[in-house]
Chain A
Amino acid sequence: MTLHARLVVTRPAFTLDIALDVRPGEVVALLGPNGAGKTTALRALAGLVPLSKGEIVLDGHALHTLAPEQRPIGMVFQDYLLFPHLSALDNVAFGPRCQGASKAEARRTAAALLERVGLAERAAARPRQLSGGQAQRVALARALAVRPDLLLLDEPLAALDAHTRLEVRSELRRHLADFGGATVLVTHDPLDAMVLADRLVVIENGAIVQQGAPAEVARHPRTDYVARLVGLNLYRGVADGPRVKVGELLISTSERLEGAAFVAFPPAAVALYRSRPDGSPRNLWQARIDGIERHGDNVRVHLDGPVTAFADITPAALADLDLTPGQTIWASVKATETHAYPA
């Protein structure tokens, strides 16, 4: 049940062109900002959007020539799209019925799946009587009921409130781990992607900009979007030994590289001073404060200057330094807190 796909969808003013390989049992998350084309990619896999070019091959069989109803897929939609006129049980039994199972047989399959997602006692409920988390689980059961080889999930947790999300996320992770086929899920939430997926594929403007294991992507972001997602300051520059030149600024790093390179450091590694500090050799530059906002328990200071950067400081430090937007200050980062890697 290996998926091998190249998806090309051409629209006026937008082109999606990505290659995707998913091994049996693997969960791949398509991560990207709104409008990047990740939902289009998922709909193309399902056959709901025609391919302009490319192919979808699952286990050696071409899928892209088949109509959606003939593909061995199960899909969970963002707002679930449970049929409002059918009970939870009949929603789940819908797929098996379409595959030719008798009514009794389909209902048995459906009942077993509802049991598995912990909703046996809600079998008779109509979708509008279900909570968001319950509807999500019924939608998953409905998709699994057709015994798909390829499971597609479109923003499976986006419609849930924060508390339910936490609970459903870990549950979904368990069900995905039990599923033997290939899974592709779409999300714009890095946390969902990190928890649920074995591999991240980051899409921007219709193309893959980075992919890899979640931890690898989190440590080595390669675009501003990914850096923002994982909370790092990221710069692209040219390395010359222990230094990377980013625009006008030379950043000392702990790694030695040559040629095009990325430098990343966390906002918490940035120290701010009202006047030029002396002493230990470190990366130091003069910056203008662009904005100040709360960020969790800390304060995030937006810096403009030779490089734009975020600095996270404590509220106490903010008070001590008496910072205001527009002010010019000194910012520094220790070389040991930076991380450089080839671009």
Chain B
Amino acid sequence: MGAVTEQNRTASARPPWMLVVPALAGLAFLVLPLAGLLVRAPWSTLPERLAEPYVLEALRLSLVTATVATAMSLLLGVPLAWLLARVEFPGRRLVRALVTVPLVLPPVVGGVALLLVLGRRGLVGQWLESAFGITLPFTTAGVIVAEAFVAMPFLVISVEGALRAADRRYEEAAATLGASRWTVFRRVTLPMVMPGVVAGAVLCWARALGEFGATITFAGNFPGTTRTMPLAVYLALETEPEAAIVLSLVLLTVSMIILAGLRDRWVSAP
């Protein structure tokens, strides 16, 4: 009797092939290109290629701009997420929809839009230049702006979700202890949604690191100032495919290290 029950249990526990086959195909589809990159990598000449100045230059530029763009997104995006999650105001749904537009917008279109507004003859750009002498297009600052434009919505969505899921009664408890709304935010709300903020920042950083379309459109492709890793990869592919593979490997490794490191600490699945 026991054996029969055991058999029945195993039979019903077997996952249906209608799901397993496409699942495995999907897995292969995602993993094979990365494996291809590793297989075709010019391992023998790797060290000297890595040491070439333009690689280090592009890598440094990418890391710096992605990090600054993430910092900028945190500074502006967390308050925006708080506003969307905590304050009732007319048109809130519309604002939330607007915030998510850059998520679905083709990055090139985002770059064009940025040029129209922040370009030398743009609505805001004109004023920035005449009033402060600041030009954004085709500068490193422009790269940061383009990356933040594309990547910030990831942070806002993630933080807003965390804020909505947080138990607001803790904020009430803090208020009964005499905490002003700013103190409540700083000492209770923010620490409690910190995992969501970190997860959002990681997503944001990864998106900024890989940004291509908006960057090349708004900031151009100048070595040392605006040529980030993705741009360098694209350029190398046309002239020297092996260099493109090396650059891709570097980008892949950096992303993996950072994401894995943060994942263990902060964004572990429940």
Q: Which residues of A contact B (CB under 8 A)?
A: 46-48, 67-71, 73-75, 77, 81, 83-85, 94-95, 98-99, 142-143, 145-146, 152
- For residue B265, CB closer than 8 A to chain A, the reply is no
Cβ-defined contact, A146 with B178, below 8 A: yes
What are 19 of the A-B contact pairs (CB < 8 Å)? A46-B176, A47-B175, A48-B175, A67-B175, A68-B172, A69-B175, A69-B176, A71-B176, A81-B173, A84-B192, A85-B191, A94-B179, A95-B177, A98-B174, A98-B179, A143-B176, A143-B177, A145-B177, A146-B178
- For residue B266, CB closer than 8 A to chain A, the reply is no
The distance in angstroms between the C-alpha atoms of A13 and B66, with both chains bound, is 54
Contacts of A152 in B (CB 8 A): 176
Would you give the shortest CB distance from A114 to chain B, in whole angstroms? 16
| Interface of chain B, main secondary structure | helix
Q: Which residues of B contact A (CB under 8 A)?
A: 167, 169-170, 172-180, 183, 187-188, 191-192, 194
Contacts of A145 in B (CB 8 A): 177
Cross-chain pair count, CB within 8 angstroms? 60
Besides A48-B175, A83-B192, A94-B177, 17 more A-B contacts (Cβ < 8 Å) are: A48-B176, A69-B175, A69-B177, A69-B179, A69-B180, A75-B176, A77-B173, A81-B172, A81-B173, A83-B174, A85-B192, A85-B194, A95-B178, A98-B178, A98-B179, A142-B177, A152-B176
Question: Out of B167, B178, B187, which one reaches A69, CB within 8 Å?
Answer: B178
Contacts of A67 in B (CB 8 A): 175
Cβ-defined contact, B187 with A68, below 8 A: no
Given contacts A81-B169, A85-B191, contact A98 B177 (CB under 8 A): yes
Contacts of B192 in A (CB 8 A): 83-85
Cβ-defined contact, B180 with A48, below 8 A: no
Given contacts A83-B188, A84-B192, contact A99 B178 (CB under 8 A): yes
Contacts of A84 in B (CB 8 A): 192
The distance in angstroms between the C-alpha atoms of A71 and B187, with both chains bound, is 20
Cβ-defined contact, A77 with B169, below 8 A: yes
Query: Most chain-B CB neighbours within 10 Å: which of A70, A83, A84, A99?
Result: A83
Contacts of B175 in A (CB 8 A): 47-48, 67-69
The distance in angstroms between the C-alpha atoms of A146 and B178, with both chains bound, is 8
The distance in angstroms between the C-alpha atoms of A94 and B178, with both chains bound, is 9
Contacts of B167 in A (CB 8 A): 81
Would you give the shortest CB distance from A24 to chain B, in whole angstroms? 20
The distance in angstroms between the C-alpha atoms of A75 and B173, with both chains bound, is 8
Query: Most chain-A CB neighbours within 10 Å: which of B167, B173, B192?
Result: B173
Would you give the shortest CB distance from B174 to chain A, in whole angstroms? 7
Cβ-defined contact, A74 with B191, below 8 A: no
Would you give the shortest CB distance from A128 to chain B, in whole angstroms? 13
